[in-house]
Amino acid sequence: MMADSDMPASRGGIALSTGAIAALIALITGAICIALEPVAPWLVKFPDAWTLPAAEWIGAGLSWFLDLIKPAMRGISALLAYPMAWANTLFTGMPWPLLIGLVTAVGWFIGGFWMAALGFVGLGFVLSTGYWLEGMATLALVAVSVPLALLSGGLIGILANEFPRFKSAIQTVLDVMQTVPTFAYLTPLLFLFGFGPVVGLIASAIYAAPPMARNVILGLERVESDIKEAAIMSGGTRLQQLFLIEIPSAKTQIMVGVNQCLMAALSMVIIAAVIGGFKDIGWEVLLTMRKAYFGPSLMAGMVIVIFAMIIDRYSSKLASDRVRYSLRVAVAIAMTGVILSVATWRSLPDPSEIALLDPVSNWLDTGLTAFLKDNGAGLDGLKNGAMFYGLLPLKIGLDGAVLPFTWGFAWTKGMSVALYAVAAAVGLLLAMRGRATLGITLVILVGIVETGVAELPWPFVLVGAGAIGWVSGGRKLAIFAVVMLALILFSGLWERAMLSLYMSGASVLTCAVVGGAIGLLCAVSPLAWRFVLPICDMLQTIPLFVFLIPVLMFFQIGEFSAFLAICLYAIVPMIRYTRHGLINTPDEMIEAAVSSGATEWQTMVEVRAPYAAPTILLGLNQTILYAFAMLVIAALIGTTGLGQSIYGALAQADVGLGIASGAAMAILALVADRLVQGFAEERRQALGL
């Protein structure tokens, strides 16, 4: 799989197909822009004078509106402070043997020994790191925000189901809510609710409600029509049908929503720590990371991972399995916790004083320092190599990145001409052999590498996106892509958006190639999948924030670290979908191929891969969305572009800039999403799926 700009090639074939025409138009636009740059520099760099001060306008408009609702919101904030204080007292005040006992008991009841062990060992670890109180503070936030999210999400889902007229509108809003980067929520919320944990609470409730709503809608939609009709024919009123039949029938899907809601809330609560004001585990990670105390930071990160794992496994077990284990054993475990708590009431050590793992943390710290000292040169080499020969040329082009002190020579005009000439020759050769689209696309790609994504002429980007949209989804999609991107252009955020595009493009490209290869390997070898599956599960459970810790440890702050963090997070869907698509070819098709005498490899290339194409494209789509989500988080450790703007806006409480940048980010993600989905849809239809 290649980046989306290469997609038209897969349609290939006859000279001047739609794909070839689209590619040709994009190529000509690009060529004209570059050729005319000396005469008309505005063709490449959009003049600032033409932009509209969108951020200021949004800021002014929103400030007015926010000021209007501020008193009401402050009221809500004051109101929410109560349950939060209660939850906080409950969680931090509860003797730890009691909580461990309860969690272990619940684990036993829903999942038997292994689930109980996960709860016991996990919380035991949390206790021994000395981060118990911070962890409990985080859990208290989650405990208040999740019911809010479940309730509002459930309500939205039910309303969408009851009033089909609004369903598509609601679904669009849910889409946007999940595409707008999490940090972008924080700025206006900060403005409304003031500093403090309530902002994190509300942000996490807002962020966690859409998955719940989505799953409720899906679950209710999927209730068999026979079941719905049976409820009607039994003489139930609408409310009886809904609450006695449809919702219970959709329970499995709704529980999936609860699971996703919990995970989203946890993730967001931790991200919200960047605004501070609350001594929770996210704040601890941030603090230790900033001080470069990697041992403690890793420990705090592990605490988050353990919470995530316990919450995830417990809630997904609830969703999937009906088997319940002995209640008696569970009660016995819980009682042990109670008795221990009462017995040691006075002598219970303060959980913050417990530092069983401090030696480990120290050892990690020194060990890591030693490792970095010994291998620093190698790591730097890796980093610089990737930067100089991969990321930088993509960002600012060969003409900017090829310098004597990195590449050993300087890029000259002559080299540009030679490169283009070679590309043109190869392209022409391909075109003459009937692969016109591929040929033109190749020339375009060479042009992009030569110029650099961040310095692409804006008309070329607009026309290119429109061309891809035209090929993947027809005129409507083309117009959508161009109009959306033009919005960014006129908002004055274009340069930052291109930087974001470069960063996400580089990560998505890497994820597509590496993830696709791993997916292929796992499809061929079940053994490999046995190793990869738990890693994928792990990577998908970890809250985004925690990804920053290991990359930071080894590669310090900078673009390369951000790039690695994004790749780590975004590669998972690519692996999963690729394998899933390749594995799930119908048996009959495989049997037909085998009985036609195809080798294993031929079956893979000729049958499995084409059949899997729509699924793999969906994986790519997910990877793109994941990359954009992580891009903003990665701004904490050094990306430029929109993510940085959003983060900066948060620090300065600049609502206009925060929202405008968030919207621009969402637009990039949405456009990429629609373009790739267009291709996936086209493939699905071509295969009659």
Structural contact between residues 304 and 176, judged by C-beta atoms closer than 8 angstroms = no
236 contacts other proteins (rule: CB under 8 A): yes
162 contacts other proteins (rule: CB under 8 A): no
Structural contact between residues 680 and 621, judged by C-beta atoms closer than 8 angstroms = yes
Among residues 175, 174, 205, the alpha carbon closest in space to that of 189 is found at: 205
Stretch that binds other proteins, among 231-239, 354-362, 409-417, 634-642 (CB under 8 A): 231-239
CA distance linking residue 404 with residue 269, whole number of Å:
47
221 contacts other proteins (rule: CB under 8 A): no
CA distance linking residue 549 with residue 297, whole number of Å:
7
336 contacts other proteins (rule: CB under 8 A): no
- Fill in the DSSP letter of residue 106: H
Q: Which of 251, 291, 324, 328 binds other proteins (CB under 8 A)?
A: 251
163 contacts other proteins (rule: CB under 8 A): no
Q: Which of 230, 331, 432, 689 binds other proteins (CB under 8 A)?
A: 230
227 contacts other proteins (rule: CB under 8 A): yes
Stretch that binds other proteins, among 40-48, 239-247, 579-587, 631-639 (CB under 8 A): 239-247
Structural contact between residues 642 and 590, judged by C-beta atoms closer than 8 angstroms = no
321 contacts other proteins (rule: CB under 8 A): no
Q: Which of 39, 237, 347, 534 binds other proteins (CB under 8 A)?
A: 237
Closest distance to other proteins from the beta carbon of 211 (Å): 23
229 contacts other proteins (rule: CB under 8 A): yes
Closest distance to other proteins from the beta carbon of 230 (Å): 3
Q: Which is nearer to other proteins, 245 or 657 (CB)?
A: 245
Q: Which of 248, 367, 381, 434 binds other proteins (CB under 8 A)?
A: 248
Q: Which of 39, 93, 165, 226 binds other proteins (CB under 8 A)?
A: 226
- Fill in the DSSP letter of residue 607: I
256 contacts other proteins (rule: CB under 8 A): no
Question: What does the CA dihedral 274, 664, 573, 302 come to, rounded to 10 degrees?
Answer: 0
Q: Which is nearer to other proteins, 252 or 525 (CB)?
A: 252
CA distance linking residue 301 with residue 294, whole number of Å:
10
CA distance linking residue 233 with residue 227, whole number of Å:
10
Number of chain residues interacting with other proteins (CB under 8 A): 19
Closest distance to other proteins from the beta carbon of 238 (Å): 9
Structural contact between residues 578 and 532, judged by C-beta atoms closer than 8 angstroms = no
Closest distance to other proteins from the beta carbon of 235 (Å): 3
Among residues 2, 9, 15, 28, the alpha carbon closest in space to that of 464 is found at: 28
Task: Please state whether 13 falls in left (phi above 0), alpha (psi between -120 and 50) or beta.
Answer: left
The dihedrals phi and psi of 411, each to the nearest 5 degrees, come to -80, 125
- Fill in the DSSP letter of residue 671: H
Q: Rounded to an integer, what is the distance from CA 638 to the centroid of its chain? A: 17
Measured at the CA of 312, the angle between CA 306 and CA 315, to 5 degrees, comes to 135
Closest distance to other proteins from the beta carbon of 232 (Å): 6
- Enter the tokens of residue 497: 């958006």
Q: Which of 17, 51, 128, 240 binds other proteins (CB under 8 A)?
A: 240
DSSP for 200-267, written as a single string: HHHHHHHHHHHHHHHHHHHHHHHS-HHHHHHHHHTT--HHHIIIIIIHHHTHHHHHHHHHHHHHHHHH
Stretch that binds other proteins, among 184-192, 225-233, 302-310, 560-568 (CB under 8 A): 225-233
**Which residue bears the tokens 């450790």?**
637
Q: Residues 617-636: x/- map of binding to other proteins (CB under 8 A)?
A: --------------------
Stretch that binds other proteins, among 57-65, 247-255, 294-302, 643-651 (CB under 8 A): 247-255
Closest distance to other proteins from the beta carbon of 246 (Å): 10
Closest distance to other proteins from the beta carbon of 150 (Å): 19
Stretch that binds other proteins, among 234-242, 446-454, 462-470, 548-556 (CB under 8 A): 234-242
Q: Which is nearer to other proteins, 235 or 526 (CB)?
A: 235
231 contacts other proteins (rule: CB under 8 A): yes
The dihedrals phi and psi of 654, each to the nearest 5 degrees, come to -95, 95
3-state helix, strand, coil split of the chain in percent (to 5) is 85, 0, 15
Q: Which is nearer to other proteins, 33 or 254 (CB)?
A: 254
Sign of CA dihedral 397, 32, 505, 262: positive
- Enter the tokens of residue 139: 């859990």
224 contacts other proteins (rule: CB under 8 A): yes
Footprint of other proteins on 29-68 (CB under 8 A): none
Q: Which of 87, 245, 306, 522 binds other proteins (CB under 8 A)?
A: 245
Among residues 91, 178, 114, 569, the alpha carbon closest in space to that of 309 is found at: 114
Closest distance to other proteins from the beta carbon of 224 (Å): 6
Stretch that binds other proteins, among 129-137, 244-252, 405-413, 480-488 (CB under 8 A): 244-252
**Number of continuous H segments (helices) and E segments (strands) in the chain:** 31, 0
Structural contact between residues 431 and 439, judged by C-beta atoms closer than 8 angstroms = yes
Q: Which is nearer to other proteins, 256 or 265 (CB)?
A: 256
- Fill in the DSSP letter of residue 543: -
Q: Which is nearer to other proteins, 204 or 241 (CB)?
A: 241
93 contacts other proteins (rule: CB under 8 A): no
Closest distance to other proteins from the beta carbon of 547 (Å): 39
Q: Which is nearer to other proteins, 232 or 417 (CB)?
A: 232
Closest distance to other proteins from the beta carbon of 221 (Å): 16
H/E run at residue 689: none
249 contacts other proteins (rule: CB under 8 A): yes
Structural contact between residues 669 and 625, judged by C-beta atoms closer than 8 angstroms = yes
Q: Which of 39, 49, 233, 377 binds other proteins (CB under 8 A)?
A: 233
Q: Residues 178-217: x/- map of binding to other proteins (CB under 8 A)?
A: ----------------------------------------
Q: Which of 28, 60, 169, 232 binds other proteins (CB under 8 A)?
A: 232
Q: Which is nearer to other proteins, 229 or 591 (CB)?
A: 229
CA distance linking residue 689 with residue 684, whole number of Å:
5
Cα separation values, 679 from 12, 439, 668, Å: 13, 20, 17
Q: Which is nearer to other proteins, 249 or 640 (CB)?
A: 249
Closest distance to other proteins from the beta carbon of 255 (Å): 12
Closest distance to other proteins from the beta carbon of 329 (Å): 24
- Enter the tokens of residue 63: 């400030």
Note the residues at the interface with other proteins (CB under 8 A).
224, 226-237, 240, 244-245, 248-249, 251
